[in-house]
A and B are shown apart, each in its own frame.
Chain A
């Protein structure tokens, strides 16, 4: 919740002074193509609009952006949980992710369709709780850095802002390295 408040305050404060446009994305989602422990390709799908639970993922995702003439600053937060189990054993993973994106305008197809490219920097932390036969083992990862290369197509028309993003996401416990990510965001801007 504190990230939402921070995001709203930051966007509101900067709107008047610096940015040409402030965007808040109501609907967003992304698919991460990762490899699991069985070496199978797994599509981790995150959506913030179809309830709290997608498969075994429980997610909360918020994002917004400040767009300047040639530059766009974005902020995304994820808070998601996943779990797996076996007889007597449970694995529960809580992840909190914060990503900033720095995109540069590369061109435009017409007045409202723009091409951006850039990079992202962020951090995430994991709380892992392993349970066995009533006993619990808790482990915290601490802050882990993440980075991404991003290509984005964005439609900005009046109060409407939509993006389609391709990211290559780096973090030390992501497999493969980098993880390809396809994402989209739909929101309003002013």
Chain B
């Protein structure tokens, strides 16, 4: 018995001593500002190790509370998550790092790499948002969900989305052999913008009957549907509608008016989010690094979008999308969702071109330009939040609010600094058949230009 007691004493004593501080993990002791290695685009980090769009980079994560779970002031992560009403429930990841001689924490596995990379982008997005004037501030930290199976029989991988109810960005499993979506900084910025749009615009429309069709922000579009819509030729249907519009107003059902506004709202949300993604990583085809099939449809240049000039979708084109014959509501929702990217890409391309125009015309740095246009976008979505709740149920097509109308209302009140800036706007808005050759650029005594209807001055 005495042998057993001695055995127990030595075993217990050693294990108590062993629990001491000397065996604390380096990551356990790290908090505050912590240097980590991530995968990032060369455009947003100073010390990228290669000229490739994405490479290893050492960056500093700010205001980390706990590096093991990679949680801090800017983001927190959940894995194997589930929903409890409007809350995300799920354990935090257990980050595994190796600290090098320079004190940089190197992720030892993919989950840790994803979380550290996303924390960095989240911190950048929040700092950007805080530097701009915005009525509604977001709650911090941002919730991000990883490594979680999503029950969706149609598509449960290769996507990322912002869930407005949970106020969380969710990354699904990635199985294509390219840059994982969770490491794609542009995709993160895109999803982050949805959280701003949700707060500013969608919340004001929650109780509006006209916007009752669920704008499928968190509905995942089937890859096949996205591919199919690129093959649908809208021009014959659109020209048929144009002919009908000339002869008189086209009467619309209440349901089709709702589909129309679902398309319009989702188009603006996706388009402005694409701009936000481009603006962050300065890459016109940032999505294609992860999803190469989107290269032609969402790349922010005219030729990829098969356009001769900057333009939006006309009312006839919008209605031709609504009139695509489908058997079921869910199928129509898929179609509207997929076509919203057609409108969205044109909106994103307009803002990108606007950004390049004012940078050139005002001789601004890239940073100054981005800040200015980002603020313009936030001001624009504030204007959407004011205008859209006032939209009434249209009886015919003449009473619909078009994408052009919403943008013209905003930009016609915007001060433009040079004649070329105003000409840029004039060229764009005159692609609207209702405004063809009807706009003028008028300068006041301070040489501030405004776009006005010809003859209105």
A-to-B contact residues, CB < 8 Å:
35-39, 84-89, 91, 93, 104, 106-107, 115, 117-119, 126, 128, 130, 132-133, 135, 137, 139-142, 145, 147-151, 168, 170-175, 177-178
B89-97, B221-229, B317-325, B375-383: which one contacts chain A?
Answer: B89-97
| Complex contact A132–B55 (CB within 8 A) | yes
**With A39-B91, A107-B3 in contact, do A126 and B98 touch (Cβ < 8 Å)?**
yes
CB of B26 within 8 A of chain A? yes
Give the residues from 294 to 330 in chain B that come closer than 8 angstroms, CB to CB, to chain A: none
Q: How far is the CA of A37 from the CA of B79 in the complex (A)?
A: 10
Number of interface residues of B (CB under 8 A): 52
A-B contact count (CB 8 A): 136
Q: How far is the CA of A139 from the CA of B25 in the complex (A)?
A: 17
A150 to B13: give the CA distance in the assembly, Å: 11
CB 8 Å contact bits of B377-398 with A (1 = contact, 0 = none): 0000000000000000000000
Contact with A along B166-182 (1 / 0, CB 8 A): 00000000111111100
Listed A/B pairs (5) with beta-carbon separation below 8 Å? A87-B177, A91-B107, A106-B6, A117-B11, A141-B99
CB-based nearest B residue for A85: B110
Interchain nearest-CB distance for B105 vs A (Å): 10
Nearest A residue to B21 via CB reads A172
14 A-B pairs besides A91-B110, A132-B39, A147-B23 with CB distance below 8 A are A87-B178, A87-B179, A88-B177, A89-B39, A91-B107, A115-B3, A118-B10, A130-B56, A132-B56, A133-B55, A139-B100, A149-B18, A170-B23, A178-B18
Q: Which residues on B are within 8 Å of A, measured CB to CB?
A: 3-4, 6-7, 10-12, 14-15, 18-19, 22-26, 37, 39, 49-50, 52, 54-56, 79-80, 91-96, 98-101, 106-113, 147, 174-180
User: A128 vs B15: C-alpha distance in the bound complex, in angstroms?
Assistant: 29
CB distance from A164 to the nearest CB of B (A): 15
The answer to whether A147 and B106 have CB atoms under 8 Å apart is no
CB within 8 Å for A39 and B177 given contacts A106-B6, A117-B10, A135-B55: no
Question: Assuming the A-B contacts A87-B174, A115-B3, are A128 and B91 also in contact, with contact meaning beta carbons closer than 8 angstroms in the complex?
Answer: no
Residues of A within 8 A of B52 (CB): 133, 135
**B7–A151 CB distance below 8 A:** yes
Q: A135-B49, A149-B11 are in contact. Are A38 and B54 (CB under 8 A)?
A: no
Chain B residues contacting A142 (CB-CB under 8 Å) are: 101
**Residues B109 and A91 in contact, CB atoms below 8 Å apart:** yes
Question: For residue A149, which residues in chain B have a CB less than 8 angstroms away from its CB?
Answer: 10-12, 14-15, 18
